[in-house]
């Protein structure tokens, strides 16, 4: 799927195909650019090599424009504009690096970094540095909430803030099955997992955003555990998670043991051995052991998606004795 054609989740219906679309001329940072109608500002910028940071955007999902990191300034617009979802218009004048743009991006990064654990978010340190972020200026982080407290928050009510600390979404990791963990202390609420589980990819609808405001959270119905939910363990939510809040169990356990080392890993593309679809499978191998399986986002067939077998059903490849992590009762070993 052409990422530039992605319609907004709550936006207009599918734009026409690229070939049928007339060109639109606009100015980006003073440069005149011509792109097919329906292209997003982000697509137009990337087309001419202007890098715009994103968190909630992914080329395989419909843009939800909630993280507000990709904001740009458009002449005539009272407020900044999310470049990931806004289609270009003829004569538009876009500015991607103004003081206003940099200010909002900096604050978005600081607000997230002060309230969410971004320690496993790829690329975040460089961004925090580039925008001169000092998330610690909001105060020391508050202690983590007890298990279940955030899941039970009541809309429209909150305790008066503690002036000594800055509120966070920190909470215990949800480990309720053998295949993947949910560490919502790392969740930036980008909605990607909800979209991947729901209408954009899997159509399982096991999770949704619940609650409101700062207490908004990703949840199953009644916050039940995954085995009690509609989850089918395809792991397509893990594939789209930008922060490592959703993580395969093998990676989570190795990180806990201090043995996870991406520098020592190789990635090898192969074909999933299970069914006739033949999904492309990327095996992540460390020290001669498969430690994770994924599928390339750019693959036309999978678009990064797999099923429970492809994503988790590879442990038979390596003998149980040699796999220190394999345990009795492993669901897919």
Partner 1 sequence: MDIRLPEAEPSDEERIAIDALLGPPESAWDGGSRGRSRDSHVSYGGRAARERRHLLLPALQALQARVGWISEGGLGYVCARLSVPPADAWGVATFYALLATEPRPRRVVHVCDDIACRARGARALTAAIESECGAPLPHAENGGHIALDRERPAWMRSPCLGLCDAVPAALVTEAGTSPIERQLGNVTIGLVRSLLAGAAPPKTDGAAEAMVPQRGDPALRLLARAGSVDPTRLDAYRAAGGGKALARALELGPERVIAEVVESKLVGRGGAAFPTGRKWDAVRRQPATPHYLICNADESEPGTFKDRVLLTHDPFAVVESMAIAGFATGCEKGYLYLRAEYPLAHERIGNALSQMRRAGMLGENILGRGVRFDIEIRRGAGAYICGEETAIFESIEGKRGEPRNKPPYPVQHGLFGKPTVVNNVETLANIPRIVLEGGAAFARTGTAQSTGTRLFCLSGNVARPGVYEVACGTTLGALLELAGGVPNGRRLAAILLGGAAGAFVRPDELGLRLTHEDTRAAGVTLGSGVVMVFDETVDLHDAVLRIAAFFRDESCGQCVPCRVGTVRQEEALHRIAGGCARGGVAAELALIDEIGVAMRDGSICGLGQTAYAAVESAVKRLRLFPTAERKKS
Between residue 226 and residue 285, which ones bind partner 1 under the rule CB under 8 A? 229-230
CB of 324 to partner 1, least distance (A): 35
Residue 91 or 148 having the CB closest to partner 1: 148
Q: What is the DSSP letter of 209?
A: E
Is there binding between residue 76 and partner 1 (CB under 8 A)? no
CB of 216 to partner 1, least distance (A): 3
Neighbours of 205 (CB within 10 A): 13
Token pair listed for 234:
């395809």
- Selected binder of partner 1 within 211, 274, 285, 290 (CB under 8 A): 211
Q: How far apart are CA 95 and CA 166, in angstroms?
A: 33
Is there binding between residue 72 and partner 1 (CB under 8 A)? no
Site for partner 1 in 147-206 (CB under 8 A): 148-161, 163-164, 166-167, 188-189, 198, 203-206
Q: How many residues bind partner 1 (CB under 8 A)?
A: 73
Is there binding between residue 146 and partner 1 (CB under 8 A)? yes
For residue 253, what is the enclosing H or E element? Answer: helix 249-257
- Selected binder of partner 1 within 39, 121, 219, 250 (CB under 8 A): 219
Is there binding between residue 333 and partner 1 (CB under 8 A)? no
Q: What is the DSSP letter of 262?
A: G
Q: Comparing C-alpha atoms, which of 209, 145, 199, 140 is closest to residue 172? A: 145
264: exposed, middle or buried (C-beta count within 10 Å: 0-12, 13-18, 19+)? Answer: exposed
Q: How far apart are CA 62 and CA 78, in angstroms?
A: 25
The window from 221-229, 287-295, 296-304, 310-318 that contacts partner 1 (CB under 8 A) reads 221-229
Q: What is each CA distance from 322 to 148, 180, 244, 319, in whole angstroms?
A: 37, 22, 27, 6
CB of 4 to partner 1, least distance (A): 17
Neighbours of 101 (CB within 10 A): 20
Residue 156 or 288 having the CB closest to partner 1: 156
The window from 34-42, 63-71, 245-253, 273-281 that contacts partner 1 (CB under 8 A) reads 63-71
Neighbours of 173 (CB within 10 A): 16
CB of 112 to partner 1, least distance (A): 6
Torsion of CA 299, 301, 306, 311, to 10 degrees: -50
The window from 10-18, 178-186, 286-294, 319-327 that contacts partner 1 (CB under 8 A) reads 10-18
Altogether, the residues listed in the chain come to a count of 333
Residue 213 or 288 having the CB closest to partner 1: 213
Is there binding between residue 13 and partner 1 (CB under 8 A)? yes
Site for partner 1 in 81-120 (CB under 8 A): 82, 85-86, 100, 103-104, 106-108, 111-112, 114-115
Q: How far apart are CA 65 and CA 86, in angstroms?
A: 9
Q: Are 241 and 118 in contact (CB under 8 A)?
A: no
CB of 53 to partner 1, least distance (A): 13
């Amino acid at each position: 799927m052409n990422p530039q054609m992605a319609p907004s989740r709550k936006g207009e219906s599918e734009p026409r195909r690229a070939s049928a679309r007339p060109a639109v001329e606009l100015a980006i940072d003073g440069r005149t650019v011509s792109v097919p109608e329906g292209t997003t500002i982000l697509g137009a910028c990337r087309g001419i090599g202007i890098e715009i940071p994103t968190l909630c955007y992914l080329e395989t999902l419909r843009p939800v424009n909630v993280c507000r990191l990709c904001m740009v300034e458009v002449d005539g617009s009272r407020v900044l504009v999310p470049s990931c979802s806004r289609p270009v218009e003829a004569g538009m004048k876009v500015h991607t690096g103004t003081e206003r743009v940099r200010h909002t991006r900096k604050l978005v990064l600081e607000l997230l970094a002060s309230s969410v654990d971004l320690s496993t978010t790829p690329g975040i340190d460089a961004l925090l540095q580039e925008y001169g972020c000092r998330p610690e200026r909001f105060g020391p982080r508050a202690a983590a909430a007890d298990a279940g407290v955030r899941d039970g928050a009541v809309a429209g009510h909150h305790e008066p803030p503690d002036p000594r600390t800055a509120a966070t979404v920190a909470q215990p990791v949800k480990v309720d099955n053998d295949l993947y963990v949910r560490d919502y202390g790392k969740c930036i609420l980008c909605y990607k997992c909800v979209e991947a589980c729901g209408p954009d990819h899997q159509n399982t609808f096991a999770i949704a955003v619940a609650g409101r405001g700062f207490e908004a959270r990703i949840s199953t119905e009644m916050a039940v555990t995954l085995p009690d939910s509609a989850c089918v363990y395809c792991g397509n939510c893990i594939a789209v998670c930008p922060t490592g809040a959703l993580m395969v169990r093998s990676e989570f356990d190795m990180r806990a043991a201090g043995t996870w080392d991406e520098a020592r890993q190789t990635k090898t593309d192969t074909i999933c051995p299970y069914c006739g679809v033949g999904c492309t499978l990327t095996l992540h191998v460390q020290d001669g052991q498969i430690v994770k399986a994924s599928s390339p986002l750019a693959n036309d067939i999978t678009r990064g998606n797999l099923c429970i077998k492809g994503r988790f059903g590879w442990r038979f490849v390596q003998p149980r004795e040699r796999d220190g992590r394999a345990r009795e009762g492993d669901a897919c070993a």
